[in-house]
């Protein structure tokens, strides 16, 4: 009577930290793109996109915010982290810029608004919320930052 040797199963390869970060960021990028493509007026799109972005960054779970911040530190020396984070950041910035440019063209936002620069400022403020999340709060809540940035874009500001 022969006994079969137990089959050794290989464990699924663990994802690289950069791949996990990419996996966590893709739904945010996709959701913002969906908002930008919607048929809503530019102001509604911008409010929606900012709510999603500031919600994700300002109310992120400690694991995500910590992972994201660690990723930026690792990006200084790890090309994969640098490329992953730069791609995500640029996709978000471009989506915001698209919404802002549409709003300028439609007369919904200030005519002298520099869409690319304001998109970068919005993204930078949202990323600041990741720092606040990691330290469990900040002097200015994410919702207030969002309202102030929205006022800067509006034509009646």
Give the bridge partners for 154, in sequence order: 109
CA within 13 Å, CB half, 147? 5
| Phi then psi dihedrals of residue 15, to 5 deg | -70, 145
Mean pLDDT of the chain: 84
Q: How far apart are CA 130 and CA 5, in angstroms?
A: 51
Per-residue pLDDT reduced to its tens digit, 33-69: 999 999 999 999 999 999 999 888 877 667 777 777 7
Q: How far apart are CA 113 and CA 103, in angstroms?
A: 10
Per-residue pLDDT reduced to its tens digit, 65-123: 777 778 888 888 989 888 988 999 999 999 999 999 999 999 999 999 999 999 999 99
Take residue 135 and report the two structure tokens written for it: 């330290």
In the chain the domains, ranked by start, together with CATH numbers, are: 17-153 (1.10.357.10)
Per-residue pLDDT reduced to its tens digit, 20-33: 778 888 999 999 99
pLDDT for position 90 = 96
Which distant-in-sequence residues (6+ apart) come within 8 Å of 28 by Cβ? 52, 53, 56, 88, 92
């Amino acid at each position: 009577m022969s006994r079969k040797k137990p089959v050794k199963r290989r464990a699924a390869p663990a994802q690289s930290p950069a791949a996990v970060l990419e996996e966590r960021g893709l739904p945010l990028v996709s959701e913002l793109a969906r908002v930008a493509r919607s048929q809503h007026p530019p102001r509604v799109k911008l409010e929606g996109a900012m709510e999603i972005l500031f919600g994700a960054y300002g109310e992120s779970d400690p694991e995500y915010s910590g992972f994201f911040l660690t990723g930026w530190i690792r990006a200084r020396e790890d090309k994969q982290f640098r490329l992953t984070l730069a791609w995500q950041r640029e996709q978000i910035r471009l989506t915001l810029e698209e919404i802002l440019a549409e709003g300028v063209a439609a007369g919904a936002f200030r005519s002298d608004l520099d869409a690319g620069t304001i998109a970068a400022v919005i993204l930078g403020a949202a990323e600041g919320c990741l720092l606040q999340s990691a330290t469990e709060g900040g002097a200015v809540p994410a919702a207030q930052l969002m309202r102030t940035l929205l006022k800067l874009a509006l034509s009646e500001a």
